[in-house]
Amino acid sequence: AADRLAGELRGLAAEEAALAEALYSLQLAEKAWAADSGCDSAAVEDLRRAAKAASDGVRAAEDLAEFASEEVGQPMHEYLLYTGCVRDCLTRASGLQAQAQAAQDSLEKARTAEQQQPTQPSSSAAASAERIAELSSRSNRLSDIASAACADLTADLDRWRLDRIRDTRTLLHGLAAAHTDRLTTTAEAWAAAAATANESARSNSPSLAARRQRPQLQRMDDREGDSDDD
């Protein structure tokens, strides 16, 4: 998912550059059309709308890239924090298990040492029994703590994994939908502007040609008038 998202962002950057170049070309074309006496106001307005659509596309690409960076960066930050907590919990659980094992080993050694002594004073026997009971209680308590910690950690990991999968799917679906809507809107604006501009160019071409021929006809008439005077 991270690789796909990185590819999506690279694609957005490329499209943003292409839209910026197209916007610049449209601005030049608008100036050329405005300077041409055969260009009507409707065609200029169509080009302005197309330029605005390209500009909106650039801003949409920037906004989408910023949104993706924020929405992806925050979960990634949370993931790093959570993995640090998980690592600490695992270290703690491992330490508890090691303590439980050490207490169990001490318990076994104490029992073995007691069994190897044929006779003990009553005070020594009572002290050994008390020590064994203490070690046994500590071992059981540490084992319970370690088991509970492992169970809680497993439940947290499962819950976090499911939440991350759900959030990531929602994020990617939202990015894909926003990207598709932006491309669709821009494409429709370009298509409408191009169609209207072409129609305006076709309708204006005869009158433009006629206007360009008028100075030539006038010059011809002037030359004929001069010849008659001679």
Domains in the chain (CATH in brackets) are 2-229 (1.20.1270.60)
Percent of the chain exceeding pLDDT 70 equals 26
Report which DSSP code applies to 135: H
End-to-end CA distance of the chain: 89
Confidence band of 112 (pLDDT split at 50, 70, 90): confident
Q: What is the DSSP string of 31-91?
A: HHHHHSTT--HHHHHHHHHHHHHHHHHHHHHHHHHHHHHHHHHHHHHHHHHHHHHHHHHHH
Question: Is residue 130 predicted with pLDDT exceeding 70?
Answer: yes
Q: Is the torsion defined by CA of 161, 172, 62, 7 positive or negative?
A: positive
What is the chain's mean pLDDT, rounded?
65
pTM comes to: 0.36
Confidence band of 37 (pLDDT split at 50, 70, 90): very low
- Longest Cα–Cα distance of the chain, Å, equals 158
- Integer Cα distance of 92 and 101 in angstroms: 14
